Amino acid sequence: MTWKQFVALLAVALTISLASFTLSRASESGNEPGVVDKVGETAKKIGKKIEEGVKKTAKKVEDKHVPEKVEKKLKKAADKTAEGFAKAERKIKEKLAD
């Protein structure tokens, strides 16, 4: 058995034991939330915070017109590159014409 298999087996065993412990605690005290419930609620809260952060960031990017600015800069760089190639082409033709 490799160490990866051992770790996977250990994780499965831990998950099963945690779930059985939580279920036994839930049956003993009907009103108290179990560990799994608390972890689930915390995960939902974290998910909501992440979602809010992503929405805020997307709104900021949209408000600052970032895509348009990037497009403008890329077009300007492409135009300058094209001008440079045109200038180089003229110089080469001049040299060859001499």
pLDDT, block means (10 residues), the chain with 98 residues:
70 74 59 71 85 84 80 92 91 84
Domain limits, the chain = 65-98
Task: Note whether 19 and 35 are within 8 A (CB).
Answer: no
- Structure token pair of residue 90: 């003229």
Amino acid 39: pLDDT: 77
- Structure token pair of residue 29: 């005290």
Question: What are the start-end ranges of the H helices in 1-98?
Answer: 3-28, 35-63, 66-97
Q: How far apart are the first and last CA of the chain?
A: 78
